[in-house]
């Protein structure tokens, strides 16, 4: 199997994660392995770069053989390091994903996906600004 790229051609797979929930590739040049979980048995015959959802250089995995992908597929990154979740943030006001431990065919959610309510719970609008916003100061 020849996984070399065609000169001048690069394929990207965009995912709904990124540097807010996995900053290690940008900070430490961390390298991960991954697979398309719902197509685990397919040939991994296409080299792609996995890109995140942020506008900066949000590249998570460079040059990985994945095979065909389609919208709605599940990209499984088997191990991301002990500090990945601890380093996650709400960068660009994105909510952090759930954390799932999988072993011997059993999956357990150990950190629930954040909601918009979780994200804005600490936000406060000062009364003077609320007053200005309503137009009552004019």
| Residues annotated as part of the active site | 55
Which among 57, 55, 58 is positioned nearest to 18, based on CA atoms?
A: 58
Q: What torsion, rounded to 10 degrees, do the Cα atoms 119, 78, 66, 18 define?
A: 20
What's the first-to-final CA gap in the chain, in angstroms?
71
DSSP result, 40-81: TTS----EEEEE-SSSSS-EEEEEEE-----TT--EEES---
Which 8-state DSSP code applies to residue 103?
Answer: E
């Amino acid at each position: 199997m020849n996984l070399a790229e065609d000169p001048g051609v690069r394929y990207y797979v965009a995912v709904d994660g990124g540097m807010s929930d996995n900053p290690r590739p940008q900070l430490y040049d961390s390298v991960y392995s991954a697979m398309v979980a719902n197509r685990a048995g397919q040939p991994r015959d296409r080299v792609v770069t996995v890109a995140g959802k942020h506008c900066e250089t949000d590249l998570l995995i460079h040059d990985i053989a994945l095979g065909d992908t389609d919208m709605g597929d599940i990209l499984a990154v088997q191990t991301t390091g002990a500090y990945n979740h601890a380093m996650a943030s709400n960068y660009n006001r994105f909510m952090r994903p759930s954390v799932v431990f999988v072993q011997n065919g059993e999956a357990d959610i150990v950190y629930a996906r954040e909601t918009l309510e979780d994200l804005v719970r600490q936000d406060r609008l000062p009364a003077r600004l609320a007053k200005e916003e309503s137009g009552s100061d004019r």
